Amino acid sequence: MNNPVATAIRQLAELQSLDRIRREKLKTVEELEAEIAQLEQEVRDRKETTAAATAELVEAEAKRRELEATLESEGSKMKDRRMRLNRVRNERELLALRHEIEVGKESNQQVEEQVLSVLERIDLLTATKLEAQEALAKSESDALERIQNGRQRISTLRTEIEDARGGRERLAGGLDPQLLRRYEQIFERRAGVAVVEARGGVCTGCHRNLPPQFYNELQRSEDVRSCPSCHRILFWRAESLESSGL
């Protein structure tokens, strides 16, 4: 292939090779960015879990202090009531005071039960908080290394993609603009495979048989031809041209 069509197709093939590499690198960048975002979200979730456990523990501790203060206050009142028993001479007042003491005992018993319940909850929340903190520390440690490696890899890939821009622009600049647009449209629609070989009467892109007359014309044509089935740009080479690089 030494004619202009052969040269253009060879350029398209080179361009496709560059574009496929670029496409794969961009895909890798997207995957790495998604992985980093997921790792960062996992760390945020761990932090929220730890913060929630801490807040619940703080709330439970405040409840414990409140109940213990109530018990202390009621204890002082109960002591005062018992002291008053020795001074009361009126039967009616004595009965009222004894009733007040009984009510106080029942109330204190209920508060004591609440304190025990809160203490059990505090033990559970303390364990939950410790577990959440350990999980967070491990998650942050693992994520930090993976995020750093991922960002370094992304930086390298973006540099490589940018460095390849000049070569692509050079190849693209040497092509007919209409042919370039045609190639780019096919490249996007056909998952990065726009230029394929016609071999043995078959399109190697879609693996369908080409019409015999079309295949014969392809071997002699000076026009850029596309597969009638998948519309990819076709090239043909004789056995003697296998080592030509196309």
Question: Residues 145, 36: one domain?
Answer: yes
Residue 196 to residue 207: CA distance in whole angstroms: 10
Nearest to 3 by CA among 227, 242, 221, 215: 221
What are the pLDDT digits (tens) for 9-46? 889 999 999 999 999 999 999 999 999 999 999 999 99
Question: Residues 30, 127: one domain?
Answer: yes
Question: Residues 192, 141: one domain?
Answer: no
Structure tokens at 194: 């726009």
- How many domains does the chain fold into? 2
What are the pLDDT digits (tens) for 210-222? 999 999 999 887 7
DSSP 8-state secondary structure symbol assigned to residue 227:
-
Q: Is residue 19 part of a domain?
A: no
Structure tokens at 39: 């790792």
Question: Residues 104, 188: one domain?
Answer: no
Q: Is residue 9 part of a domain?
A: no
Question: Residues 112, 206: one domain?
Answer: no
**Domain limit, last residue, from 123, 141, 165:** 165
Write the CATH number for 135: 1.10.287.1490
* Residue 97 Cα to chain centre, angstroms: 68
Residue 127 to residue 53: CA distance in whole angstroms: 9
Residue 220 sits in which domain range? 176-244
Q: How confident is the model at residue 234 (pLDDT cuts 50, 70, 90)?
A: very high
**Domain limit, last residue, from 165, 188, 207:** 165
Question: Residues 232, 180: one domain?
Answer: yes
Q: Is residue 17 part of a domain?
A: no
What are the pLDDT digits (tens) for 106-152? 888 888 888 899 999 999 999 999 999 999 999 999 999 999 999 99
Question: Residues 33, 112: one domain?
Answer: yes
